[in-house]
Amino acid sequence: MIHRKASYLYRTDRYQWLSEKKARAKQLEKLKKIIEYAYSHSRFYRDTFDRAGVKPSDLKNFDDIRKFPLTSKETIRENLDSVLTVKRNSRRLKFIKTSGSCGDAMEIVYSNRSWDYTSAVYARNLFAMGYKPWQKIAFYWEPDPVFIKHATAFYHKIGIMKKCWIYSTDPPEKQLNLIASLNPPVIIGFPSSLKLLCRLIRENSYKSAITPNMIVSSFEVLSEETRTFIEETFNAPVYNWYTSTEFMGMAGECQKRSGLHINTDSIFVEILKNGANLREGGSGELVVTGLEMEAMPLIRYQLKDYGVLSSERCSCGRNLPLLTSLEGRNDDFILLKNGEFIGPRSIVGLMDKAVLYNGQVKNFRVIQKAESKVVVKVVRDSNFHAGTLTEIRRVLSGLFKNLMDIEIISVEVIEKNRRGKLRFVISELDKNLWRI
């Protein structure tokens, strides 16, 4: 097992420096292999492919993937036993639950082998950001003993990538005291949690006690305003990392920070808009096929995340394609009457700059209740004044083209999900009625 883990670390490191031609050839080979494996070993995919009239042999190039049906979280969850290619009681499996940010949580099943490979890809992302394996990491997560055990089992034993767990469900003051006592070189966390941490640091003069070399933002949308706020607080670079429970590390920035390098040796990414595949430069829904997920194949899986694929290549020399922007989940977009969609990055960035960083509100949430109605929940802060509500209406009315009735409600707290993630924007519109 140790040999396999070490081998994957070596192989994943080499892969990022392959020529584009060789990397794409390897990716296509893996894509064909997982389609064949899913058809041969998963009753769900065999039945699904047969109903669609497609066979693994129909996949001859990347464009042929469009012949195969899309899958959703709901469909996979409802058919999980028939999706799995191994028995659930196998000792070779690891079970991890999704956060349930936009609905019910789902169990993701990794084989020991696939966990080892995706963990190596995960490590490669960190190394590309400048992380050194002997540096300790303060890692924001829920108090989940199963995940923590899996995430620390091997690397901690050999003395590298050691994590100190900061429970995201704990009060921010407790998180701050723990981080101050650790003064870790690296902090990995949700941007919503990192923002609250930075607010407390500025208010309590903790800057000299916490001096990380780098900050990694993950699991939520990172706006440029939030990145700047965190960087100015810590005087350290902030890196954006696209991760999910389904696929682990999917894409991450390197030290050049010119986009997020997609881990094409572990996932195949499509960008869809209105059901059609987009080429580079267009914003659309990310549809992902896991290339290393043999226990629980996820083929053309709709993550409900939206982003932009770049045609450029990074000057770092890695031949991994770039995502230039992650816009958020479809449940986090506001739909205007004129058909325009406003993503959470724009909303959060404006609200942060207007009323959060200056201490007027501690937190907020924008909820679309109807086509022409949004409710804004705010938690008042020490600098809140009569003009705060006017400023919120001004910035949001401008962003929403004066097409929304805006109701503002003061609340005591904005609820997080069980993992400690905070959704700043929620749309309650029926998602079956529209596509981004």
The pair of three-digit structure tokens given for residue 95, joined into one six-digit string:
């079970």
Task: Give exposure, 47-64, as e/b (b: 16+ Cβ within 10 Å).
Answer: ebbeeeebebeebeeeeb
At 323, is the pLDDT very low, low, confident or very high (cuts 50, 70, 90)? very high
> Exposed, middle or buried: residue 35 (CB in 10 Å: 0-12, 13-18, 19+)?
buried
Dump the DSSP string for 214-254.
Answer: EEEEESS---HHHHHHHHHHHTS-EEEEEEETTTEEEEEE-
Residue of 162 and 290 predicted with greater confidence: 290
CA dihedral (197, 428, 244, 237) positive or negative: negative
The pair of three-digit structure tokens given for residue 377, joined into one six-digit string:
């929940």
Averaged over 408-418, what is the pLDDT?
89
pLDDT of residue 169: 84
pLDDT for 313 beyond 80: yes
- Cα distance between residue 184 and residue 151, in whole Å: 18
Given its phi and psi angles, is residue 219 left (phi above 0), alpha (psi -120 to 50 degrees) or beta? left
The rounded percent of the chain whose pLDDT value lies above 90 is 63
Averaged over 210-237, what is the pLDDT?
93
pLDDT of residue 95: 83
Domains of the chain: 2-329 (3.40.50.12780), 333-433 (3.30.300.30)
The pair of three-digit structure tokens given for residue 91, joined into one six-digit string:
């000792």
pLDDT for 159 beyond 80: no
pLDDT for 145 beyond 70: no
pLDDT of residue 125: 97
For residue range 6-21, what is the model confidence (pLDDT) as tens digits?
A: 899 999 999 999 999 9
Give the angle subtended at the CA of 154 by the CAs of 152 and 156, to the nearest 5°.
55
pLDDT for 1 beyond 90: no
Averaged over 181-190, what is the pLDDT?
94
At 431, is the pLDDT very low, low, confident or very high (cuts 50, 70, 90)? low
Averaged over 294-313, what is the pLDDT?
92
Averaged over 69-88, what is the pLDDT?
93
- Cα distance between residue 194 and residue 215, in whole Å: 9
For residue range 344-374, what is the model confidence (pLDDT) as tens digits?
A: 888 988 999 899 888 899 999 999 999 899 9
Residue of 306 and 43 predicted with greater confidence: 43
pLDDT for 432 beyond 60: no
Question: Worst-scoring range by mean pLDDT, 44-58, 104-118, 172-186, 198-212?
Answer: 198-212
pLDDT of residue 341: 86
pTM of the entire predicted model: 0.89
pLDDT of residue 150: 63
The pair of three-digit structure tokens given for residue 3, joined into one six-digit string:
């040999």
Please tell me the number of Cα atoms within 13 Å of 290 on its side-chain side: 29
Averaged over 63-70, what is the pLDDT?
96
pLDDT of residue 327: 80
pLDDT of residue 146: 64
Q: Are 141 and 148 in contact (CB under 8 A)?
A: yes
Q: Name the nearest CA neighbour of 165 among 181, 177, 148, 150.
A: 148
Q: What is the DSSP letter of 98?
A: -
Please tell me the number of Cα atoms within 13 Å of 436 on its side-chain side: 27
Averaged over 267-274, what is the pLDDT?
91
Question: Worst-scoring range by mean pLDDT, 10-19, 160-169, 231-240, 387-396?
Answer: 160-169
pLDDT for 143 beyond 80: no
Q: Are 127 and 137 in contact (CB under 8 A)?
A: no
Residue of 429 and 250 predicted with greater confidence: 250
